[in-house]
Amino acid sequence: MLRVTCTDVKGAINVTAGEKGFKCGPCPKDTTGDGETCEDLDECLLEVGDPRRHQCVNANCVNTPGSYSCVCKEGYHKDGEDNVCYDVDECRSDDTNDCDWIFGYCNNTDGGYECLCDPGFISYDGGFTCEDFDECLIDNGGCERICINNEGSYECDCGVAYILTFDEHTCEELDECATNTKCEFYCDDFVGHYECHCPDLFLADENGRTCNHINECKVNYGNCSHECEDTIGSFYCDCPKGWRLGSDKRTCEDIDECIQLGERGQGGCEVGCENFNGGYVCTCGTGYQLTNDTVSCEDIDECMIPETCEQKCNNTLGSYFCSCTEDYTLREDRRTCRQNTSECNFGCHEKAEYIESNSTCVCRPGYSGNGTYCSIDDPGVVVEVTLADLEYTEVLGDCTSAAYIELKGDVETAGSSLIR
């Protein structure tokens, strides 16, 4: 039941027939009438522009008592509680359309969709099934000579002795000689084929394209000692790297790179140069080695080689020397150390060596005796060594010191080289 506000008319005590002693207010919202009689307002029938008209978009309006509802049209759906319906994209999934997905595609429209075929295909059922369209059936596809139908397309062909022009439909006679025939000298064009021919004094090869002259290098290798290079109408002898052609223009001679001056002389080597047939190599002195540039020398750090010295290794330019820690003395092998005793060389003669394993003294080779005294077997040549530039220090008075042992070894080595 619709409720309307009703009020008495002021001063209406005696009401005559046909008069009313009350007055009705306006009808409630979403209704229409004079107040005494109110009916439901059908928002679905109101004119466009009426603010009370329904707000359905892409939907059908259904009137309800005091209101209305929106029902989406086919191909639309609601996305929330408002009265607007949005287009359904049937093309997003092959479950929502029946288009041919192999040779066609789906095109979404407002409230629906349409099926279309790919170029070169045609449909007879609205795009649900697409079939290849044979373009060659209509005016030969526009081709001048041969039309070849392909799935979804076509192409023109001209056959033998003709070539397709830039418009890909018309043909013109092929001048094989103007294309890449690979004829070395001359080309003769004929309808459907071409022929190569050679100038005088040349013979055609088995491939019919190249021409060969007499190859002097195939006859006794041109009398070249190493390499023979054939040229058109002639030949020449050549030599590999490290060799040069002699005056007879046939024989190769070794180049002695070591007598050719480089930036440093000696073939560019920093120190030494050794020549061999076809090349050379740079050499370095004892205690040095070649660097990566193969011409310069650098010191060998013997101390980087494991077990060079038993205790301490001291690298020097071109050499090295071993030394021992405190309370140890360098042995005669100049590499190992032995623990010091109160006497130099453990009481052994200076030409003897102390054997730790059995604590005995044994004369060195070239000497005879009991170890505490040794005499030379063959006196040979007596060498007197004078150390002109030696500055004597107190440590040289200690026969167990590294300085004493090193100086002793140097003197003995110098004496041995003089005797030899």
Q: Residues 156-187, buried b or exposed e (16+ Cβ, 10 A)?
A: bebeebbebeeeebebeebebeeeeeebbeeb
Class of domain 136-174: mainly beta
213 CB neighbour count, 10 Å cutoff: 15
| HEC letters along 322-361 | EECCCCEEECCCCCCEEECCCCHHHHCCCCEEEECCCCEE
Can you give the pLDDT at residue 416? 52
- The fold adopted by the segment(s) 216-254 is Laminin (2.10.25)
When the candidates are 2.10.25.10, 3.40.50.2300, 3.40.50.2000, 3.40.50.720, the CATH number that belongs to 259-299 is 2.10.25.10
Q: Where are the domains of the chain?
A: 6-87, 90-133, 136-174, 216-254, 259-299, 312-340+387-420, 348-377
Can you give the pLDDT at residue 384? 62
Can you give the pLDDT at residue 420? 39
Please compute Rg for the chain using Cα positions.
58
Can you give the pLDDT at residue 258? 85
CATH code reported for the domain at 90-133: 2.10.25.10
What whole-number distance in Å separates Cα of residue 356 and Cα of residue 347? 13
Let me know if the fold of 259-299 is the same as that of 312-340+387-420: yes
CATH superfamily of 312-340+387-420: Laminin (2.10.25.10)
Can you give the pLDDT at residue 239? 94
Mean pLDDT per 10-residue section of the chain, whose length is 420 residues = 57 57 77 80 88 89 89 87 87 86 90 91 86 91 94 91 91 82 85 82 82 81 90 86 91 87 70 89 91 92 91 90 86 82 68 79 87 80 63 65 72 56
CATH code reported for the domain at 6-87: 2.10.25.10
